[in-house]
């Protein structure tokens, strides 16, 4: 089954005619994703890859093609409006890949999204994938994924790919993989995804990848301790990061003792997680946990 995406997902791509939007819409379709429409203002009436109709607005695309997922590849200055347009049309799942949206712009955007019956993944995320149903929404490389029963959640796109690659090499498949995004303000957090994996009958074990900055990992650890019954293998990166210096993601900055890697590892260990020492150990730790369960 997996989470968020399945064979019934109907994808609308906002910004489908841009360089990134067109490339990843194409790779998604090649993977098997059902892309039903695209949205680019001023280009309504055209088609993408000779089969996908393009519309000027989300409302037009919704009326004509009934999408239930919106994938957003829109520049930072316009991405908040694109998110709000999808939310106002009540597209159930909105995945925004865009990096570099100002935090101040996201404050109002998140408040608006939360007033609607929708879920936002991102921004600044790699998206999500369901290998079993061959549905890929975002920038994850489909070729490295293998259908299986391990759920992956991460703030980092690159570490998601590394985890998946190691698992696949060992013959361990994934039920779903979700990158929640590395910005300070995002639509869906670890707890949200952990809850979905806990309820998913086709996910047996969870791989949880966190990093320095904020307190999301500690909040997730508290949730795991009291609500998650499935094994959780956790990796926290950034152990050698200096305080006060941003490392990669906009949200990856140590601003206090709770934002350090050591604090996060301690919380997850206390929650009963199987700690993954380094990124190179992801596959081996998961394999050992699976062998003992």
Catalytic positions are: 249
Our CA dihedral for 105, 154, 7, 140, rounded to 10 degrees, sits at 80
Half-sphere exposure for 236 (CA within 13 Å, toward CB): 28
Q: Which residues contact 230 (CB under 8 A, 6 or more apart)?
A: 197, 198, 203, 204, 205, 206
User: In 3D, which of 207, 209, 217, 208 has the Cα closest to residue 259?
Assistant: 217
DSSP one-letter string for 172-189: --EEEEEE--SSSS-SS-
70 - beta bridge partners? 12, 94
Q: What is the CA 234 to chain-centroid distance, rounded?
A: 17
**What are the φ/ψ torsions at residue 47 (nearest 5 degrees)?**
-125, 155
Which class for 9: exposed (0-12), middle (13-18), buried (19 or more C-beta within 10 A)? buried
CA distance 257 to 253: 11
């Amino acid at each position: 089954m997996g989470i968020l995406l399945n064979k019934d997902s109907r994808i609308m791509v906002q910004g489908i005619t841009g360089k990134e939007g067109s490339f990843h819409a194409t790779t998604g379709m090649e993977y098997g994703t059902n892309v039903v429409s695209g949205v680019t203002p001023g280009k309504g009436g055209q088609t993408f890859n000779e089969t996908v109709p393009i519309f000027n607005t989300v409302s037009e695309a919704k009326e004509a093609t009934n999408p239930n997922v919106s994938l957003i590849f829109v520049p930072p200055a316009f991405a908040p409006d694109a998110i709000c347009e999808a939310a106002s049309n009540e597209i159930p799942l909105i995945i925004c890949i865009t990096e570099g949206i100002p935090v101040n712009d996201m404050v109002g955007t998140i408040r608006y999204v939360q007033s609607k019956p929708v879920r936002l993944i991102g921004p600044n995320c790699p998206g999500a994938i369901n290998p079993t149903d061959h549905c890929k929404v975002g920038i994850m490389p489909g070729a490295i994924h293998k259908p299986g029963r391990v759920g992956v959640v991460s703030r980092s796109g690159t570490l998601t790919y590394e985890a998946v690659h190691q698992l696949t090499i060992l013959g361990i498949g994934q039920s779903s993989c979700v990158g929640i995004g590395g910005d300070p303000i995002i639509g869906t957090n670890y707890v949200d995804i952990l809850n979905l994996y806990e309820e998913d009958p086709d996910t047996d074990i969870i791989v949880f990848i966190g990093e320095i900055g904020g307190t999301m990992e500690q909040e997730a650890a508290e949730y795991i301790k009291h609500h998650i019954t499935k094994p959780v293998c956790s990796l926290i990166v950034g152990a050698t990061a200096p305080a006060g210096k941003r490392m990669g993601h906009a949200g990856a900055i140590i601003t206090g003792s709770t934002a350090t890697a050591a604090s996060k590892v301690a919380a997850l260990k206390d929650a009963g997680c199987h700690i993954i020492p380094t990124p190179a150990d992801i596959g081996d730790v998961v394999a050992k946990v699976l062998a003992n369960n």
